[in-house]
Amino acid sequence: MNKELSIQQVAAITGLGIHTLRYYERLGLLASTRIRRLPNGHRRYSKIDLEWIDALEMLTLNSYAHCGNAAFGRDNTARRVDDERATRTP
C-alpha cells in the first residue's frame, strides 16, 4: 500500500471509530507529527501508521486479557456497583 488513507478508511480497515483514532492522537499514542495533514486539515495515514494502530490494539487487548478483562473499564465497574446497590434490601 503506497497511498495514504483518510481517517474514514483507516476506521473501516481497523474497526476503530474515528473518535478513537483522534483520541489516540490526543493522548500521544499516534505521533501527530507523523500523520500528514492536507491543507484543509484532514489527516492522511500511511502504512506505518496502520501498523502502529494494529500494535496499539494488540497491546490494549493483551492488557485487558492480563487483567482478567477488569470489567472493561470504569464505566462497567460503576454500572456493576449501581446494580448491586439496587438489589440490596434495606
CB hemisphere CA count around 48 (13 angstroms)? 6
Give helix 7-14 / helix 47-66 axis angle, nearest 10°. Answer: 40
SS3 50: helix
Read off the pTM: 0.62
In a domain, 26, yes or no: yes
- Residue 1 domain-assigned? no
Amino acid at 21: L
Chain center to CA of 59: 11
Q: Of all residues in the chain, what percent carry a pLDDT higher than 90?
A: 28
Output the pLDDT for position 44: 93
Collapse the DSSP code of 86 into the 3-class scheme (helix H, G, I; strand E, B; otherwise coil) and give the result. helix
pLDDT at 85 over 80: no
The predicted pLDDT at position 73 comes to: 47
For the chain, the distance separating the N- and C-terminal CA atoms, rounded to the nearest angstrom, is 62
- As a whole-number percent, the residues of the chain with pLDDT over 70 amount to 62
Average pLDDT over residues 14-34: 86
Q: What integer is the mean pLDDT of 56-61?
A: 80
Residue type at position 44? R
Q: Is residue 2 part of a domain?
A: no
Q: Where in the sequence is the domain holding 42, given as residue range(s)?
A: 7-87
Mean pLDDT of 10-39: 87
What CATH number has the domain bearing residue 25?
A: 1.10.1660.10
